[in-house]
Structure formats: C-alpha cells, structure tokens
Chain A
C-alpha cells in the first residue's frame, strides 16, 4: 500500500515542473521513507513485519547477498520470524566438495591439477549468489572478516582447499556457539599456519627459542576481547573517573600474551604420528616434529587430510608424550571480574588439551566478548555506528540467549536484525547506515537482475583487483578495513566509524565503477558479442521490453536495490535522463531496441554508482 502511494506521488510530481521544484526544495532526503512508516513502526514491534515490500527489500539487503523479486514476495508473505526460522534451518552451501570434485576431474583425466585460489573465489560466488542459505552465508562472510585467514600468505597461497575448508567451518557454525567456533578456528591448521600456532614449541634455553606469540595476541586482540576493557554497551571503561576524559584500561598485558603463547604449543598436523621411542633415541623426533607431512607424498597436497582435520598434540598417547607442549610453569591468562581461574592464572601442569580448553574458556567468558563481537557483526550486517544501546541489547543476547546459553550466534544474529534500530529508521540515529562493501554491490546487482551463468562458472577470480576486497584475501589479519577507521574530514570530526571507506580510494572508485559498467553494459544475456570469459550475465530483457514506462523502471530498480529510499531529486534526475533517450522505432534502431536497452542500463549504472545507493541506510 505504502509503495503505491510513493509511485503515485512520483507520477504527480512529474506533471508540472513547478510542482517538481517545490517538492525538490521542501522534501529532505529520506522524506519518501516517511510515507512507508505511516503503516508501521508505532503500531507493532520490529519483529512483526515487513509492512511493505520496501521494508522487505531493506531487510533482505541486510540479511542476504541482495534482494530478488521472488524473495521480496516470499518475505512479505511469511514475515521476518518465519523467514529467519527457515533460514536457520537451512544447511550450509559448502566450498570444499566443489573444489575436490574439480581436483578429481583433473586427476582422473591424467592432467595437472589447475585448481587455485580463483577456483575458490568461483565457488564462493556461486554459493552466495545462488545458495538458498542466504543468511548463513552472509554471517559466514561476516565471520571471515573477523576470524581472518588469507591467501596472502606463503603457506596458504597455493592451498585453496585448506582455506575453503576453513570457510565451510564458518558456514557450518554460523548459527552455532561462538565458544565452539573459537575452538574450531584455534585448532584449524590453516589458522595454525596463518598465525603460526602450528608447530609452536615450548621454550628451549639452549636454542634461544621461546613460544611464538602471534596467535596468542590475535585471538585476544581480534577474535574475542579486543584491546580495551568495555562495558556491555561496547564503550571503553574508564580507569580513573576522577580525571577528565576516559582513561582506557587494556584488556591484557604482554604477560597474558606470553601465558597464552605457552598454552598454544605442541600442536601439529593430525597426520603427524609421532616416531617410536627407538626413532627418538636415534634423534629423529625433532626432524619428525618439524617436517612430518600433512598427507601422503604421492597425493596432491590440496587433498591432504592434515589440512582438513583439527591439529592434535604431537606425541600424544606415545611413549614420548607431548614433547613440545609447555606444560611446565604457570601461565597468566586473562584476568577479569568473575574469572574462574584465580587471578586469571592457569596453574602449571595439565596437558596440551586440558590447557587449551582452560585457555579458550578463559577467553570466551571475558565480559568483553559479547559487545566486542556483537559490534563487529552489527557493522557487517546493518550499520557502521550502532548506538551503545543497540550494542548492549545485542551483547545481552550473546551473554544469555534466554535459555542460559552464552555465545548463541543464531540468537545474536536474530537480535541484530530484528532490533528496532535496524528495522525502524525513525528511531535509529541520523547517521545509521554503512557504505556498502564492494563485494555486496556486485552480488546485489547480480541477484537483483537474475544473473545466471551460461557454463556453471562465475569466473570472478580476482575481484580484489577492482575492489580491494576478495573473500579470505585481505592483506593482513586486520581484514580489508579496520572497524574503527574514520575517514578524515567530516566523518572523523563527527567521531563516526566508516570502515569501508578505508578501501574507497580513487583507484577503487574508478575500477569498481568500471567493473559494474562491464557487468551492466556488456555482460547481459543475449549480447551477441559475449564470449566465454564472462559467463555470468544479467537478465535485462523484461525491463527492455517495458522501457517506455520510465517511472516503473526506476521504481522497480529502486525497490530491488535501494529499498525504495531513492530521494525525489534523484528520481527526477534519472527520469529526465531516461526520457532523453529515444526509443523511437527508426531504421537505425528497429523497434527502438538499442534505445530501450540504453535506458535500462543507464538506469542501473547511474543508480549503482550513486551516493544514495552506495551508502545503505
């Protein structure tokens, strides 16, 4: 109903130039949304919705890789709760089986295996474009930007299956428990390679070796508690209330890093069966620890089981014992109110496994985890600058899902999406929203325009070239952008975080605009000039057929891509532009086909590069 009112208003506005000018002058950006909320907001809780197709589209922008006509209709009919329930039940679309199948195809054909990181990008795109576990994939994608591994790493760059297996863990655990996820990630050999936990060894005075601190540092700084003690609303605690300003309190010290580093010792590939005591006496054991393979030598390394199974304490259940685990010495872990270990100190002794469990529990139960991880997930899903109250509501659900369970990701994600701040623009802060991630701009275009592959492939192996973003290919463990990045200028002055701006540089503005141009102006189904290189093609035929109805064209794209938030001035600019393109049936454009096509494509390109679209609200 609300949607029809907007469309009618626009047609009325187009009638006289004077009326258009008046409206342009008096309507602020966002006034169009006011119409949609006549029928929602104050009459019901956020979970009872959507109340319009515009609201449905906006929700799907946050919860999927892009709205489609079909999904807007389905969500409008079933409502948020039923849709979420359905999504939570859907199993994960996986990456590894696809890669394994491709590897076996080469092997069975007796050819060298050509399965690399671009193959991994391919299956990621296929899953997020066409998989029906949309919310799970969206959460997995968010988790991959928090629990970061990357193929920009010597030991992982040639190993697409290892990285794919890690992503499958994220997808499978996206609605599980964060404590379990932390453990899966900690014992994962790709993470072990990326942050040097694998083959980390206890101190050795004679060799001047101490445990590597890489993973100990990052599991705290990035995967759980962050650098500063926070309250439940994600605001830094003040260590000295009497002094002006906030005196922040660090969450951990170098001692804690060292303590954790000592816990994270002694682990190796699960395929590394320790040598016999006889072999050890002949001095082979260090060699075996250091060089034992992740799988049989004759087998392609991309299939090696050592990369697909959790690491294990090397030497366990042998006469050697877990030789390289630092069980001696107490270890300072995190200390916080309510900590189980006395003053956060893990007593000397224990085994590699028991010490690992104690350490993960110690980290997981820190009060920071809810607000820290909650805020990061909010930034990936709904807004870059959640209010403290929003963070607090989400953290509260993380802390206890209502059934006494801490770390329930399904409940946390539900809380993020159904919070009033996310569902009701009239109660959200004025700066609510975020700059759309480049990869989401691509998937949103493709999904909205019913893109399909003509050969099963996606062939988008290096999206980082044009966007500085590619799944599990960030330059460092700090992801593509920092959560607290604040663009110099007005955004920094306002004290806002704007992570995605960190990769929105001149180079990438240009390249992404050009890439979207290629996907719109060139890779459309039916373009006779297309070869095999761009197998994914959008379907513009239905829109070309009705391109004489300019209002409807703009309205449809507005609904699909912008949740009907397009401002009147932008609408009028597009309208005028499209009407200027002739669709007359003339000898040099039979049926006005080229003109129609140009209208559709121009509308799409101008919209998907516009500030009102690029900044999702």
Chain B
C-alpha cells in the first residue's frame, strides 16, 4: 500500500478512540505514531539529509509577459504592438543566455529590475517555466470555445485561481494544498513531533494546508511569546515566578475538554502555539540576524548593513532571511524535510502597472539571489538542497486597459536553486499577437496555458522525494497531461536534477 494508505489506516484506528477522554491525548501523539510507522522508504535521492521547497506566492496575478519578454526583433515587434503603452523598451531588457534554444525559438530578456534573476539564470541556477496555468485537460482555442469542454471553474477569479494554483486541482473546490499533502506524507521523517514540516512566513495559505498537517505561522520578525504566562521555560517551570500561577491556570483552561468544535480547535491552536514558540525561539536565539553571513540581503538591495541597527528589508527579503535562519537551526529542530511559504502582494496591476510592478520584481529577483548567496555560504551549504519556485493565480491579459492589464490565465514562472537544470526556458513561449487569429489567445488577451500547474508542481514534488504512486494520488489530473496541446507531456518537466 502507498504511504498515504498506511497513514489513513493509522488515523482511522486512532479515531476509533474518539469520544473517550483518551482521544485528546492521542491527538497529540498522532505525529509520533506516524513517525514510527511511515519510515523513510518514500524518499528518492540518496545521500542528502535535508530537503526543502520554498514557495514564493505573488498575490494578484503577476504580469509575466512583462517579466520575461521577447528581445529578438520579430518577437519584440509583436510584443510591442500588442502591449502598446505598457511595453517595456527593448534596450532596457536584461538579456538571457539560454543553454539550449527555447521551443519555438527566439531570444528573451528580463524586466530591467531583475538583475539578480538574470545572473542566476545565466549561471544555470534558475529556469523559466513558460505559460503554465490550471488545466483540467489540455485545451486549445477550439476546445476552449466548445461547450462541454472540461475547463477550470471560475477562470480569471483571484480567489478561485489562487486556490487552484495551490492545490492544484482545477476541477474541484478542494482547499487542501499539494504542499500540505507532501507534509502529510513526509512529516514523519522529521524527528520533531511538534513543529510542523510546513512553515509560513506570510500567514494562511492553501498550499500548505494538509489533511493531517497544518502549517506553523511565524513572521519575518520571528517568534514571539505570550508575555503574561512566560516563565522563561516550558511547562511554567522557568524562573519568572510572577507568571507561574497565570501560566498554570491558562494551561489548565487550554487542556480542558470542550463541547464546541470551535472551542476545541482554539484550545488546540493555543497549545501548539506555546509548544512550538518556546522551542523555536530558543533555537533562533543561537543564530541572530546580525551575523554577517546574512549581509547579501542588504547588499543586493543597496541598503546599508550595520549590525547595531539593521535597516528594514523589502518584504520578500525579510521573509527569506527568516527562512534562512530557520534552515540554519534545522539540526537543533530535528527537521530534515521542510516546506516554506512566503508571499508578496501588489501584483494585481489593473492600473499604473509600469510603476507598480518594477519594485515588486526587484524585491523578488534580488531577494532570491541573496537567499542563494547565503545558502551557498559554507555555514549552510544548502544551495543544492533547497529549491525555490514562484506561484501566482494567473498571468495577465496581453492587451492593456489603458495603463494596466486584467486577469489572464497562463503565465511564466521561475524556479531557483543549484538543483535546477537552469539557463533554460521549459515549455513554449506563447504567441503574443493581439489578433483574434492567435491560437494561444483564448480571447481578450487571456493566454491558454500549454503546461499545467499539475506538471509544474509534480516535478518539484518528485525532486522533493515523492514516489510515483503517491504522486498520482495527490495530482489526479496529471494522468491527462499529455499530448500535442501541451508544450511538454507527462509528469516530469525535467527542470530538476536529482541530488
């Protein structure tokens, strides 16, 4: 049986004790039981004892057609004619040097803000995954227009498409993410029963929501404690005696059995918050952010670095810095498999796109570059074991509405890391013509994806260690992702090297 079925069996037998007083105690032991039973047999790749994925979510729908831009004369001419007042000047594009000619030919460049990405791409440590999006089945324009074709529900809607991007189930309203499903499988490989395999730096997200495993939220400023009950150590046993009585009563209230499911859930959340925060705080305290190893985050954004008074970093940089610090104490936390989620907002550029998108792409590009400079430092040596990838609910329309773009469908995405088979554009860049005859144009400038998010995610998940049997269960639509309507067939897009 697959590891998933093994876990279902254990969960159900534990659930049989539900209703007895023992159940609440058993719930806490669930992780331990899974750890004992699942074992490490599901891992692919040998020799590495740490693996992490970092998802960078771009809220709002990133206009990727102004992120990766054709720079050969023919391609650029089409792009400029279509994009009109929001086209980037040809001379400003940062040239990409590809190790192989992209599908459909042409040469490409990046938005002028993205110097870091250009450096990583040309060095083979980043890749572009072209024209990806949610699909239930591969479609072309003719099929798209035909009634009865299976299409993702609520295309072009932020909330629905961002859920479909994170699950990635374009055919259901499931709100369980593929990162959460990975955690359901791999969490047992971590020696730590209380810290979730999934850590979010940007709050709630669908990607990390599993069936059994919920993500742990922290902020770029770290872990905080509840002051009124903080005795300085776990179990109310520290030396801040003035908090001890409150700590004990508070814990007693959280440990009560409650009749209302919301009360149970709240009490459980509080307890897990307390347990994890004290553990994480202690670990992070050993590796402060004033360590010079983290300087690239300031240097690459042109910010002064002064350990006595650290200047505030851009949003993504601050999140990736904290992720690096958590990775650094992975042994102390007994974590060998981790999934991180970070996010930046502001990509829904219906208006003033040129001004709004530039600093966001700068944050994305230089912050990831800094992240990998830190990971390559001998203190970490994790560049090969950490893969970072972008996600966003959709690309945007080819045509503009005056000074911005509207919701589209297919979009380009980025993967970073030393395990990436970089300096390549995977898939096929779409035709950017605004004519209704453009076969990639669903209508109104919304581009039909020629790769599905299932394929993109499955490639990353396989690198992470997912075996084919579990992979097909988590990505059930993957079996349909074949054929001439896609730019690449099958569950593995080949952009990752195995370790």
Q: Which residues does A use to contact B, with CB under 8 Å?
A: 28-30, 152, 154-155, 196, 199-201, 207-214, 217, 221, 227, 250, 254, 257-258, 290, 384, 430-431, 433-435, 468, 475-476, 478, 482, 486-492, 494, 496, 498, 501-507, 509-511, 513-514, 517, 521, 569-570, 573-574, 576-577, 580-581, 602, 605-606, 609-612, 614-615, 617
Identify whether the interface residues of B are mostly helix, strand, loop, or mixed: mixed
From B227, which residue of chain A is reached at the shortest CB distance?
Answer: A514
Q: Is the CB of A214 within 8 A of B406?
A: yes
B175 surroundings in chain A (CB, below 8 A): 486, 492
Q: Is the CB of A434 within 8 A of B228?
A: no
Q: Which of B158, B228, B267 contacts A513 (CB 8 A)?
A: B228
Q: Is the CB of A196 within 8 A of B351?
A: yes
User: Bound state CA distance, A521 and B306, in angstroms?
Assistant: 36
Q: Which of B59, B211, B219, B444 contacts A210 (CB 8 A)?
A: B444
Assuming A29-B259, A154-B352, A210-B444, is B217 touching A487 (CB within 8 A)?
A: no
B399 surroundings in chain A (CB, below 8 A): 208-210
B216 surroundings in chain A (CB, below 8 A): 506
B315: CB under 8 A from chain A? no
User: Bound state CA distance, A455 and B401, in angstroms?
Assistant: 49
8 more contacts with CB within 8 A, not counting A208-B399, A514-B227, are A154-B351, A207-B84, A213-B156, A488-B211, A504-B269, A509-B270, A517-B226, A606-B253
User: Bound state CA distance, A517 and B250, in angstroms?
Assistant: 13
The 4 closest A-B pairs by CB, nearest first: A505-B217, A611-B263, A29-B259, A577-B249
User: Bound state CA distance, A573 and B248, in angstroms?
Assistant: 10
User: Bound state CA distance, A507 and B269, in angstroms?
Assistant: 11
A576 surroundings in chain B (CB, below 8 A): 249
A254 surroundings in chain B (CB, below 8 A): 155-156
Q: Is the CB of A510 within 8 A of B254?
A: no
What's the least CB distance linking A598 to chain B, in Å?
9
Q: Which of A509, A573, A617 contacts B260 (CB 8 A)?
A: A617
Q: Which of A211, A435, A569 contacts B262 (CB 8 A)?
A: A435
B263 surroundings in chain A (CB, below 8 A): 29, 611-612, 614-615
User: Bound state CA distance, A94 and B294, in angstroms?
Assistant: 49
B9: CB under 8 A from chain A? no
Q: Is the CB of A570 within 8 A of B256?
A: yes
Q: Is the CB of A490 within 8 A of B261?
A: yes
B267 surroundings in chain A (CB, below 8 A): 611
Interface string of B310-348 (1 = CB under 8 A from A): 000000000000000000000000000000000001000
A580 surroundings in chain B (CB, below 8 A): 245
What's the least CB distance linking A307 to chain B, in Å?
16
What's the least CB distance linking A217 to chain B, in Å?
7
User: Bound state CA distance, A430 and B260, in angstroms?
Assistant: 7
User: Bound state CA distance, A186 and B325, in angstroms?
Assistant: 47
User: Bound state CA distance, A504 and B267, in angstroms?
Assistant: 11
B272 surroundings in chain A (CB, below 8 A): 506
User: Bound state CA distance, A475 and B266, in angstroms?
Assistant: 23
What's the least CB distance linking B166 to chain A, in Å?
13
User: Bound state CA distance, A209 and B401, in angstroms?
Assistant: 5
From B267, which residue of chain A is reached at the shortest CB distance?
Answer: A611
What's the least CB distance linking A444 to chain B, in Å?
16
User: Bound state CA distance, A227 and B156, in angstroms?
Assistant: 13
User: Bound state CA distance, A200 and B401, in angstroms?
Assistant: 8
B203: CB under 8 A from chain A? yes
Q: Is the CB of B259 within 8 A of A611?
A: no
B168-212 with Cβ < 8 A to chain A: 175-176, 180, 200, 203-204, 209-211
Q: Is the CB of A606 within 8 A of B249?
A: yes
Q: Is the CB of A29 within 8 A of B218?
A: no
Provide 6 A-B residue pairs closer than 8 Å at the C-beta atoms, listed in order of the A residue: A154-B356, A207-B84, A212-B406, A257-B156, A517-B228, A573-B256
B119: CB under 8 A from chain A? no
What's the least CB distance linking B383 to chain A, in Å?
29
B418: CB under 8 A from chain A? no
Interface string of B24-62 (1 = CB under 8 A from A): 000000000000000000000000000000000001100
What's the least CB distance linking B319 to chain A, in Å?
13
Assuming A514-B227, A581-B245, A615-B262, is B218 touching A506 (CB within 8 A)?
A: yes
Q: Is the CB of A615 within 8 A of B214?
A: no
Q: Is the CB of B259 within 8 A of A28?
A: yes
User: Bound state CA distance, A290 and B273, in angstroms?
Assistant: 51
B side interface size, CB within 8 A = 71
A201 surroundings in chain B (CB, below 8 A): 402
Q: Which of A155, A514, A573 contacts B252 (CB 8 A)?
A: A573
| Most chain B CB atoms below 10 A, which of A155, A435, A615 | A615
User: Bound state CA distance, A186 and B67, in angstroms?
Assistant: 33
B264: CB under 8 A from chain A? yes
Q: Which of A28, A488, A496, A610 contacts B261 (CB 8 A)?
A: A496
Assuming A577-B249, A606-B249, is B350 touching A212 (CB within 8 A)?
A: yes
A290 surroundings in chain B (CB, below 8 A): 402
Interface string of B242-258 (1 = CB under 8 A from A): 00011001101110101
User: Bound state CA distance, A213 and B160, in angstroms?
Assistant: 16
Assuming A435-B262, A614-B266, is B209 touching A517 (CB within 8 A)?
A: no
Q: Is the CB of B84 within 8 A of A227?
A: no
From B249, which residue of chain A is reached at the shortest CB distance?
Answer: A577
User: Bound state CA distance, A258 and B442, in angstroms?
Assistant: 14
Q: Which of B176, B256, B351 contacts A569 (CB 8 A)?
A: B256
User: Bound state CA distance, A511 and B158, in angstroms?
Assistant: 29
What's the least CB distance linking B332 to chain A, in Å?
19
A517 surroundings in chain B (CB, below 8 A): 226-228
What's the least CB distance linking A564 to chain B, in Å?
16
Q: Is the CB of A507 within 8 A of B219?
A: yes
What's the least CB distance linking A478 to chain B, in Å?
6
Assuming A227-B154, A506-B217, A606-B249, is B265 touching A487 (CB within 8 A)?
A: yes
A431 surroundings in chain B (CB, below 8 A): 260-262
From A384, which residue of chain B is reached at the shortest CB distance?
Answer: B262
B351 surroundings in chain A (CB, below 8 A): 154-155, 196
User: Bound state CA distance, A30 and B263, in angstroms?
Assistant: 12
B250 surroundings in chain A (CB, below 8 A): 606, 609
User: Bound state CA distance, A349 and B273, in angstroms?
Assistant: 60
User: Bound state CA distance, A505 and B204, in angstroms?
Assistant: 8
B392 surroundings in chain A (CB, below 8 A): none
B401 surroundings in chain A (CB, below 8 A): 196, 200, 209-212
Interface string of B392-405 (1 = CB under 8 A from A): 00000001111010
